[in-house]
C-alpha cells in the first residue's frame, strides 16, 4: 500500500514536471563535477530544532568565525485539526506548521540531514531560498519514504528566508499548502543593526508561519476528511485552483497562537517577529503597536524601515519586525486583511505584562450615559 502510494505520487511528478526534472538532473551533474571544498578544519556546532513559535538557542552576535551548523529534520505526514472538526492531511517539516526556524550566521555552512520516515507515503525534498544552486538544494534532497539525505550549503546572504518542499510539478504547490514550509534566519555575524547602522538586539524572537489551506467540502457543504494525503489530492487540487483558501492560519491551526497558546512579553522588551508565507501574500499588523524596525523583505543588508503600521510579506518570503512593547495588555498580531484574520484564522495574541503608561494613553472619561437635552452632542458640519 505504502509503496503503491509513493509510486503513484512519483508517477504524477514525472509525468507533469519535465522541465523541473531536467533542471534537477543538470544541477546534480554540475554538483558531481564540482571543485572540492575543504572544510575539514571548520568547527562544528549542532542545534536541536524546536517547535514554532519558539526558536532554538542561538547567539545574536557570533562569538566565533564561520562554523558548520548541523541540523536534523524529520518529514512527518500526519492528520491535523485546523479548527474544530476540520481536518487536514498535513505534510510537515519536523511535525509542525511552519517547520522550525533555523538560525545561523552569515558565512556559516548549514548542514541539514533530512529524514523521510518509512511511514510516509510520498517523496519530499527541501528548497532553501537562502541557498545557491540546484533549485535551492531541492535537486539534491529528493528522498523516498525510508530515505535520508544530507545537504550542506553556505549561508552567504543575511536575512530571513523561506524553505519549502518542492518535489516537482503539481506536487510543489500541494506540498506547500499542505504545510511544508518553514524559514531560516541568517544573522549578520555582528548581529542586527538599526536604520543608522547602530547595533540592536532582541530579548525574544517568535516565529510565525502563515498557511493558506484549501480544504474540500462535500455536496452537503461539510468539510471532507480523508484517510491519507494521497486520497485528499484530487479534491484539494480543485479547491486550490480556485485560489480562495478555506483557512488562513498562523502556525497551522485556528487559535494556534491565541488563548493558552498566546505569545508573551513584558513592557520594555524588544521582540523580533519573523513571519513567513511560502505561497501567498500577507500583511502583518500589530494592533495597538507598531513595527519599530521592519525588514519587510527580511534581508538584513538593507536598512530597516522604521515606525511602520502594517508591512507586507510577499508570498515566498519571510520578513522580520522588531517592536519594543511600551504598554501592557493583550495585543493582536494579525494579517490585516481582516477577513483572513477574523473569519479565516490569521490571528495571534501577545500577552504583555507591565505597568500602564498614562502618558501614552489614558481613558479620561469612562463610558457614561449623557443627557442630550443638557449636554448636546457636537454639531455636525
Ligand atoms: Cu513534500
d(CA 226, CA 87): 8
Active site residue 285: yes
Mean pLDDT of 363-381: 90
CB atoms within 10 A of CB 270: 18
**Catalytic annotation, pick one of 124, 247, 275, 349:** 124
The per-residue DSSP string of 303-359 comes to PPEEEESB--B-TTEEEEEEEE--S-EEEEEEESSHIIIIIS--EEEEEEES---TT
User: What is the 172 CA–ligand 1 centroid distance (Å)?
Assistant: 7
In whole angstroms, give the CA distance from residue 290 to residue 311.
Answer: 10
Active site residue 310: yes
> Which residues hold their Cβ within 5 A of ligand 1, which is an ion?
124, 165, 175, 180
The secondary structure of 16-73 as a DSSP string is H-HHHHHHHHHHHHHHHTPPP---TT--EEE-----TTS-----SS-SSS--EEEEEE
Task: For residues 354-366, give the mean pLDDT.
Answer: 98
For the segment(s) 209-353, the CATH number from 3.30.360.10, 2.40.40.20, 3.40.50.150, 2.60.40.420 is: 2.60.40.420
Q: Is the domain defined by 2-35+42-186 classed in CATH 2.60.40.420? A: yes
Q: Which of 164, 247, 275, 349 is catalytic?
A: 164
Please, which residues bridge with residue 116 across strands?
75, 147
Considering the candidates 94, 105, 247, 285, report the single residue annotated as catalytic. Answer: 285
* Residue 94 a catalytic site member: no
Q: pLDDT at residue 81 above 70?
A: yes
The residue assigned the cell 498580531 is 333
Verify whether residue 47 is a known catalytic residue.
Answer: no
Q: Is 70 a catalytic residue?
A: no
- Examine the residue annotation and report whether 180 is marked as an active-site residue of this protein: yes
Mark whether 105 is an active-site residue.
no
For the chain, domain boundaries: 2-35+42-186, 209-353
23 pLDDT band, cuts 50/70/90, is low
Alpha-carbon gap, residue 137 to 113, rounded angstroms: 12
Known catalytic membership, residue 336: yes
Strands 305-308 and 317-324, bridge-based pairing: unpaired
* Choice between 97 and 20, residue whose per-residue pLDDT is larger: 97
pLDDT of 22 higher than 70: no
Q: How far is the CA of 132 from the centre of ligand 1 (A)?
A: 20
Instruction: Write the pLDDT tens digit of every residue in 218-259.
Output: 999 999 999 999 999 999 999 999 999 999 999 999 999 999
Angle between helices 229-241 and 2-16 (to 10 degrees): 30
Scanning the structure block, which residue is given the C-alpha cell 477574523? 342
Q: Residue 27 — very low, low, confident or very high, per pLDDT cuts 50/70/90?
A: low
Catalytic residue among 309, 353, 357, 361: 309
Catalytic residue from among 83, 94, 111, 129? 129
Q: Do 2-35+42-186 and 209-353 come out as alike in CATH topology? A: yes
Q: pLDDT of 53-66, one tens digit each? A: 999 999 999 999 99
Closest CA to 113 of 85, 140, 84: 140
- Grid cell for residue 298: 527580511
Can you give the pLDDT at residue 9?
Answer: 56
Centre of ligand 1 from the C-alpha of residue 218, in Å: 26
Average pLDDT, the chain: 93
pTM of the predicted model, to two decimals?
0.92
Amino acid at each position: 500500500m505504502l509503496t503503491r502510494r509513493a509510486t503513484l505520487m512519483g508517477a504524477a511528478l514525472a509525468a507533469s514536471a519535465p522541465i523541473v526534472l531536467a533542471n534537477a538532473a543538470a544541477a546534480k551533474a554540475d554538483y558531481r563535477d564540482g571543485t572540492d571544498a575543504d572544510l575539514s578544519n571548520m568547527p562544528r556546532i549542532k542545534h536541536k530544532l524546536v517547535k514554532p513559535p519558539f526558536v532554538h538557542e542561538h547567539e545574536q552576535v557570533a562569538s566565533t568565525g564561520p562554523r558548520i551548523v548541523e541540523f536534523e529534520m524529520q518529514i512527518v505526514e500526519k492528520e491535523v485539526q485546523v479548527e474544530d472538526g476540520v481536518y487536514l492531511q498535513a505534510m510537515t517539516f519536523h511535525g509542525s506548521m511552519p517547520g522550525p526556524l533555523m538560525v545561523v550566521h552569515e558565512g556559516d555552512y548549514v548542514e541539514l540531514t533530512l529524514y523521510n520516515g518509512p511511514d510516509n507515503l510520498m517523496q519530499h525534498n527541501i528548497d532553501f531560498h537562502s541557498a545557491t544552486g540546484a533549485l535551492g538544494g531541492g535537486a539534491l534532497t529528493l528522498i523516498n519514504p525510508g530515505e535520508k539525505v544530507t545537504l550542506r550549503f553556505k549561508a552567504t546572504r543575511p536575512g530571513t528566508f523561506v524553505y519549502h518542499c518542492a518535489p516537482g510539478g503539481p506536487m510543489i504547490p500541494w506540498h506547500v499548502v499542505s504545510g511544508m514550509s518553514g524559514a531560516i534566519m541568517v544573522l549578520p555575524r555582528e548581529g542586527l543593526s538599526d536604520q543608522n547602522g547602530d547595533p540592536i538586539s532582541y530579548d525574544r524572537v517568535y516565529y510565525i508561519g502563515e498557511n493558506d489551506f484549501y480544504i474540500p467540502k462535500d455536496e452537503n457543504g461539510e468539510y471532507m476528511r480523508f484517510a491519507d494525503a494521497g486520497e485528499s489530492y484530487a479534491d484539494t487540487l480543485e479547491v486550490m485552483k480556485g485560489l480562495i483558501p478555506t483557512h488562513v492560519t498562523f502556525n497551522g491551526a485556528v487559535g494556534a497562537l491565541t488563548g493558552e497558546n498566546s505569545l508573551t512579553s513584558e513592557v520594555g522588551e524588544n521582540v523580533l517577529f519573523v513571519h513567513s508565507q511560502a505561497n501567498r501574500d500577507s500583511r502583518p499588523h500589530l494592533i495597538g503597536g507598531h513595527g519599530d524596525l521592519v525588514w519587510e523583505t527580511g534581508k538584513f543588508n538593507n536598512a530597516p524601515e522604521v515606525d511602520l503600521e502594517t508591512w507586507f510579506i510577499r508570498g515566498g518570503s519571510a520578513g522580520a519586525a522588531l517592536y519594543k512593547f511600551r504598554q501592557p495588555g493583550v495585543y493582536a498580531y494579525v494579517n490585516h486583511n481582516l477577513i483572513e484574520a477574523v473569519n479565516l484564522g490569521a490571528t495571534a495574541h501577545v500577552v504583555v505584562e507591565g505597568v500602564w503608561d498614562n502618558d501614552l494613553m489614558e481613558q479620561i472619561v469612562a463610558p457614561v450615559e449623557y443627557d442630550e437635552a443638557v449636554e448636546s452632542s457636537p454639531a455636525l458640519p
